[in-house]
Amino acid sequence: MNKKPSIAEIFLTFLTIGAISFGGGVVAYLRNSLVKEKKWFDDVEFLEITSISNTLPGLNATNVAILAGDRLNGWLGASVALLGMCLPAFIFMTAAGMIYSEQHVRPVANAALRGVAAAATGLLAATWFQIGKKSLRGVYDAIFVVAAILGITYFKIGVLYTLLIVGVLAIFTYRPQRAPEQPAKEEEAWIKSLH
């Protein structure tokens, strides 16, 4: 990065992404703009930002905006990046709510939305199928995925308790391992020296 981009430039960049990123996958739009076009970050930095975003609550679109904005120009950069990212969607969705409230459009709107809901199910399934294919590794990951699904759909303990119970178990399973190589090697050398 050569020099700090101005607050106005940050706002306009995120406002543009917030306005054109139709069809989900906002992170791909963000990468295209921040890494490829503006060259404000390299791929390694961007990957780090997205991995923090994934771990924290909040959406990827807004979390990436905040973390990138902060690195570009401090808390003010983060604030305008978040605002720019959210503003178009806010106007879009509030307008959608106003239209939906109109009684005379209700029958047609409801019929159209039944189609939208069906397609959204397919889109969301495809999105999570791709994320799963990319990031799941090994038996433990599979167990935690199934446990979380069952917590929601079968045991019906709610999102919060499922997250707490399965989350703690998963983090404990992947707990930090003491690196045993060093002592083991020393021991091996010591055993060899006995012979």
Partner 1 sequence: MDQIPSLIRVFAYLSFLTIGGGMAAFPEMKTEIVGVHHWLTADQLVHVFSTGQMSPGPNMMMVAEIGQLISGPLGALAAALAFFLPTGVLTFLVGRLWNRLANWPWRASIQKGLAPVAIGLALGGLVIFGKGAITGWLTVVLALATFVAVNRTQINPVLFILGSAVVGAFALR
- Asked if 21 touches partner 1 (CB under 8 A), the answer is yes
- Asked if 123 touches partner 1 (CB under 8 A), the answer is yes
Task: Report the nearest approach of partner 1 to the CB of residue 189 (Å).
Answer: 27
Q: Which span (5-13, 33-41, 75-83, 182-190) binds partner 1, by CB under 8 A?
A: 75-83
**CA–CA dist 178, 175 (Å, integer):** 10
String of contacts with partner 1 for each residue 54-73, x by CB under 8 A: xxxxxxxxxx--xx--x---
Q: Which of 173, 183, 187, 188 binds partner 1 (CB under 8 A)?
A: 173
* Per-residue DSSP letter, 123: H
Task: Report the nearest approach of partner 1 to the CB of residue 105 (Å).
Answer: 11
- Asked if 1 touches partner 1 (CB under 8 A), the answer is no
- Asked if 153 touches partner 1 (CB under 8 A), the answer is yes
Q: Which of 1, 28, 47, 159 binds partner 1 (CB under 8 A)?
A: 159
- Asked if 176 touches partner 1 (CB under 8 A), the answer is yes
**CA–CA dist 92, 7 (Å, integer):** 24
**CA–CA dist 44, 167 (Å, integer):** 27
- Asked if 6 touches partner 1 (CB under 8 A), the answer is no
| Residues 6 or more apart in contact with residue 76 via CB below 8 angstroms | 7
- Asked if 50 touches partner 1 (CB under 8 A), the answer is no
Q: At what angle do helices 158-173 and 138-153 cross, to 10 degrees?
A: 170
Whether the CB-CB separation of 90 and 39 falls below 8 Å is answered with no
- Structural element, H or E, at residue 180: none
Task: Report the nearest approach of partner 1 to the CB of residue 184 (Å).
Answer: 19
- Asked if 100 touches partner 1 (CB under 8 A), the answer is yes
| Rg (the chain; Cα; Å) | 23
- Residue 102's SS3 state is coil
- Asked if 36 touches partner 1 (CB under 8 A), the answer is no
**CA–CA dist 191, 194 (Å, integer):** 5
Task: Report the nearest approach of partner 1 to the CB of residue 11 (Å).
Answer: 14
Q: Which of 2, 8, 36, 51 binds partner 1 (CB under 8 A)?
A: 51
